[in-house]
Each structure stands twice: as structure tokens, then as C-alpha cells.
Amino acid sequence: MDETTREYLRGRFADYYRAAAVSLPPAANEREWGHIPWTPGSETTMVRHQSQLDLGDVDDFLQRTAPRMSTFRRRATTTPARAR
């Protein structure tokens, strides 16, 4: 994907995240989180094994970074991987 297209899409995702009411899952601070940022080039990079402490306020994180995709682990854990 070329830079112009990537920046356009990142802007549209940012618009969406600013307007959306994002619902957090139960026990959000006990889950591992991941996201796909808008990285240059043709490869897809996924950032995984983050805790909510790494992300900070989830709404702020989504609005600031406008990831292509965001996900969380279905099952809550007592210690997210990064904190181990």
C-alpha cells in the first residue's frame, strides 16, 4: 500500500475511533491486547501481548494510534504476558 493511501485510511480510522463508543470487555485489565498498526511496506505487523497498562486509556489509545485492527484475548488472565 502506498503512503498516500495508508495515511488516508489511518485518518478515516481515526475519525471512526473519535466518534465511536467503544465498549470494553469485562475484566479488561486482566486480558492481553493486540493491534495492527499502519506500518509502511507490504508486510503486516501485529503488536501482541500488551496489557491495558501498556495501552493506557483504551479510547485515547485508539484515537491516537487509529490501528487497522484491535483485539483482546477472550479469556482473562491473572498476569498478561508482558507483565510476567
Contact 32/73 with Cβ under 8 angstroms? Answer: yes
Is residue 37 packed enough to be buried (19+ CB in 10 Å), middle (13-18) or exposed (0-12)?
middle
C-alpha cell at 18: 473519535
Q: What is the pLDDT of residue 7?
A: 94
Q: State pTM to two decimals.
A: 0.74
Determine the Cα–Cα distance for residues 65 and 7; give it in Å rounded to an integer.
12
Report the mean per-residue pLDDT for the chain.
Answer: 84
Instruction: Write down the residue that cell numbers 475484566 correspond to.
Output: 27
Q: How far apart are CA 10 and CA 7, in angstroms?
A: 5
pLDDT at 78 over 90: no
Q: Given pLDDT bands bounded at 50, 70 and 90, which one contains residue 72?
A: confident
